[in-house]
Amino acid sequence: MILNLIYTIGKYLGLFGLAYFIYVLYCVLVVPYLFWRKYRKYPNVKTQENFAPVIGDIVNEVTLVKQGKVHYEYRKDLGKELEKYDIRAKLDWWNPCFMILSNRALEEVIQLQKSCVDKQYVSYGLSAMIPHGFGIQKTNTKTIQRRKNVTTWLGLNGASKFIPHMVECCESILDNMEEEGTIDLMHEMNSLTFNVFVKIMLGDDINKLESTLYPYTNPDGKVENITLKEMLIRLTNAYVQHYINPLTFLMPFLNEYHLVNPYKRDYKNNQLFKKYIKEVVESSDNKDSIGKKFLNNEDCTPEQRLDDMIAIMVAGTETTSHSLVSCLYYLDKHPDIKEKLKKELEKEGFTKGEGFLASIGVDSIQNCTYLNCVIKETLRCDTVIQDSFDYECSKDTTICGVPIPKGSHFRVDLVSSHYDDKKWLQPKEFIPERFDFESEFYKKSKELGLTGGVYSRRSFGHGNRACPGQSFALLEMKIAIAYFTLHLEYNFSEEDLSKDGIGFALMSQFNPKVACKRK
C-alpha cells in the first residue's frame, strides 16, 4: 500500500518534472529560434548572424561589463549601420526583445504611444525595487497625476532654487576629504547626489541620516551597520545585477516571490531600507518637507506613496552621480578641454572658496556655453542608462514595416544613435565643440549635415514617459562640474585613462581610485 503510494507520487512528480523540462526547452530553444528565424528575413531588422541558443547576447555583455566596457563596443559599431537598420531583434538571455534603433522607428513608437504602446511591467532589475512606483506602471490619469506631483513638488523644471543646496553638498564632499589623498570617486559622487536629494526632501534632517547606522545584510550573509546613503548605493547595485542573473529569466518566480538569494536577501534589505526612510520622514520636525508631501499624498496607496519617493531617489541619484564621474574622467583625459572650461568659468565670474555661491546664479550658469557642451558631450559618449524602460504593445502593430505581435516586449536603444556616423562627425571622439554653434567643429559638422538631431540624442529618453528630471540633472551636473573644476586637482591613473571603451553607465562595476588634492 505504502509502496504503491510512493510509486504513484513519484510517477506524478516525474511527469511534472518532465513536463517542466519540456516547457523550459520550448522557452529557451524553440521560441527564440522561431523569433530569430522570422526576423532575420527583414532587411531593416538586425539579428545575430547565427542563432546563439540560450545565451543570447548576454554572455558577450557580461564579459564587457567585467572589463568596464559597459557600452558594449558592438552598440557603438551599430552606429555605422543605422541607415540600414530600424530595429534589432535580440535575446535577453532567451527572451525575445526588439530594440528600437533608428530615429524613424523611434518616431513611430512615440506615435504609437497614443494608441497601443505603453510600459511593460517587469518584476526584475530596478523595477523590483519599487514595484508600486508610477515609473514602471502604465500611463493613465493616476500615473500622470503622480508624475506631475513629483515634478511640482521637486520643482524639477525650475530647480534653480536648489542651487544653494547643491553648492553646500559639493562643499561638504570636499570638507570631508583629506587635503591630499586617493578617493573612490564613484562613491563620493554617489554621496553628493544622495545628499542633494535628501537635503531637498528633508531639509536639515539630513544630519540625522549622516550619523545613524542601520543593519544591512551583505552578499556573504554578514550583517553590517551602514548609513541609509550607503544602503541605497548597495541596493541599487544589487538590483542592477539581477539583469544579468540567468535565474531572473529562467525561473522568474524565484525572483518574484523572493525564494532564494540574491532575491531573498535583496528583498529583505529593500523592505528594511523603505521602512527606515519612512521612519526618518515621519519623525521629521519639518512639517512642510517634500518627503512629507510624498507620504501624505492622497492620490495613491501607502505602498505607492513610499515607492514613488524611493523611485525618485533611485532615478535621480545614481544616474547623475555616474554621469558626473564620466564627465570628470573625460576632462582628465583631455587636459586641453579641462583648461578651456576653467577659463570659461573664470571669465564668467565664478570664484573659488566662499564666494562661489555668490558668484553662481541661473544666468551665469546659462552663460557658460562650454560647460553646457561638455555635459552634453559626456551624456552622448557615456549614456548612463543604455536602454529605455521596458515597453510592450497591446495589439498587433508594425514599426517601420516590421510586424510586432501583440504583447511583444521592446526597448529603445539609447546608445547606438549617439554613435551614428551619418548624424555625427567623428562620433567616437569626445568633442564638446560639436554642440557649440560658434565653433569651427560645429560649422564643419553643419556643412556636412552632421549635427545630430533631436532623436539622435537619447540620454533622457523620448515620448510621454521621458525623464522628468532632465533639467534638474543638468543643473546639478553643471554646478558640480563647475565647483570641482575650480576647487579640486584630480588625476585618474594613467592605466585607467589609457583604457579604451571605459564607461560609467549604471551597469558599471568600475570604481576608479583617483588622486585628489584640494586647490
Q: Please enumerate, by residue number, every residue annotated as part of a binding site for heme.
A: 467
Residue 117 near ligand HEM by CB under 6 A: no
For position 319 contacting ligand HEM by CB under 6 A, the verdict is yes
**From residue 244 to residue 263, what is the string marking binding to ligand HEM with x (rule CB under 6 A)?**
--------------------
Residue closer to ligand HEM (CB basis): 319 or 445: 319
- Least distance (Å) between residue 334 CB and ligand HEM: 20
Binding of ligand HEM at residue 103 (CB under 6 A)?
no
Phi and psi (nearest 5°) for 399? -130, 120
Q: Quick one: 460 or 510, whose CB is closer to ligand HEM? A: 460
- Which one of 51, 153, 389, 455 is in contact with ligand HEM (CB under 6 A)? 389
CA 206 to chain centre: 25
Binding to ligand HEM (CB under 6 A) within 396-415 occurs at 414
Nearer to ligand HEM, 198 or 414 (CB): 414
Sign for the CA dihedral angle at 301, 302, 308, 311 comes to: negative
CB-CB contact of 318 with 508 (8 Å): no
Judged by CB under 6 A, does residue 135 bind ligand HEM? yes
Q: Which three cell numbers stand for residue 455?
A: 532623436
Three-state SS sequence of 288-348 = CCHHHHHHCCCCCCHHHHHHHHHHHHHHHHHHHHHHHHHHHHHHHHCHHHHHHHHHHHHHC
Do 155 and 476 form a contact (C-beta atoms < 8 A)?
A: no
Applying CB under 6 A, the span of 66-74, 104-112, 381-389, 501-509 interacting with ligand HEM comes to 381-389
- How many residues are given for the chain? 519
CB of 313 to ligand HEM, least distance (A): 9
With CA atoms as reference, report the closest residue to 374 among 298, 450, 445, 480: 480
Instruction: Kindly write down the DSSP assignment for every residue of 405-456, as one continuous string.
Output: -TT-EEEEBSSGGGG-TTTBSSTTS--GGGG-TTSHHHHHHHHTT-B--GGG
**Residue with Cβ nearer ligand HEM (427 or 463):** 463
Instruction: Compute how many other C-beta atoms are within 10 angstroms of the C-beta atom of residue 96.
Output: 20
Minimum distance of ligand HEM from residue 67's CB (angstroms): 22
User: 96, 125, 262, 468: which one contacts ligand HEM (CB under 6 A)?
Assistant: 468
Q: Binding segment for ligand HEM among 77-85, 250-258, 308-316, 491-499 (CB under 6 A)?
A: 308-316
Binding mask 426-465 for ligand HEM (x = CB under 6 A): ---------------------------------xxx-x-x
Contact partners, residue 366, CB within 8 Å, separation at least 6: none
Work out which of 156, 166, 280, 516 binds ligand HEM, going by CB under 6 A. 156
Residue number with CB closer to ligand HEM (82 or 109): 109
Owner of C-alpha cell 508594425: 398
- Other Cβ atoms closer than 10 A to 467: 19
469 makes contact with ligand HEM (CB under 6 A): yes
CB 305, min distance to ligand HEM, A: 14
Closer CB to ligand HEM, 88 or 258, in the complex: 88
The candidate with the shortest Cα–Cα distance to 64, out of 424, 492, 415, is 415
According to CB under 6 A, which one of 384, 450, 480, 507 is a site residue for ligand HEM?
Answer: 384
Task: Give the bridge partners for 217, in sequence order.
Answer: 223
Decide: residue 247, CB within 10 A, 0-12 exposed, 13-18 middle, 19+ buried. middle
Q: Does 297 sit near ligand HEM (CB under 6 A)?
A: no
Per rule CB under 6 A, count of chain residues that contact ligand HEM: 27
Q: Does 473 bind ligand HEM (CB under 6 A)?
A: yes
Residue 192 touching ligand HEM (CB under 6 A): no
Angle at 63 between CA 58 and CA 69, to 5 degrees: 105
Residue 105 interacts with ligand HEM (CB under 6 A): yes or no = no
The contact set with ligand HEM (CB under 6 A) reads 135, 147, 154, 156, 311-312, 315-316, 319-320, 323, 384-385, 388-389, 414, 459-461, 463, 465-469, 472-473
